[in-house]
Amino acid sequence: MKKKFRNLSCYEVQHSIKQYLLDEMTIEEAEGFVKHIRFCDVCRKELEEYYAFSSALMQLDSMEEAEKGNFFMNIEKRLERTEASVARQKADHRNRRFAYVFLALLFAAVMGVSIGV
């Protein structure tokens, strides 16, 4: 199967961190982003710092005391959540392809029967 995402450069990844955190990416973009983050320590660090920084800003008005120590854990959860939805979406595609094959076979069977009758 052809891959929908291309390999992103560090520059591209670091400039789309905000987009990722705001959930403004398509699933394909998010997949490329997370894959890069998984193998690139430089961008991973950028992401963690950006996340910690923006969380700290939000914290000033809305965050609970208990959440304050959890920035890095949260970003890990977030990366895992993206990977889970990418995996889910791929499973959907597979299931849909099976459904089409099944429908085509069913259609062929029905046609065969009506021609036979």
Nearer to Zn ion, 11 or 116 (CB): 11
CB 29 within 8 A of CB 16: yes
CB closer to Zn ion, 11 vs 66 = 11
Which letter does DSSP use for residue 21 in this model? H
Binding site for Zn ion (CB under 5 A): 10, 40, 42-43
User: What's the closest the beta carbon of residue 96 comes to Zn ion, in angstroms?
Assistant: 33
Max distance between CA atoms of the chain, in angstroms, equals: 76
With residue 87 as reference, give the H or E element that holds it. Answer: helix 71-116
Rounded least distance, CB 109 to Zn ion, Å: 52
**What is the smallest separation between the CB atom of 74 and Zn ion, expressed in angstroms?**
21
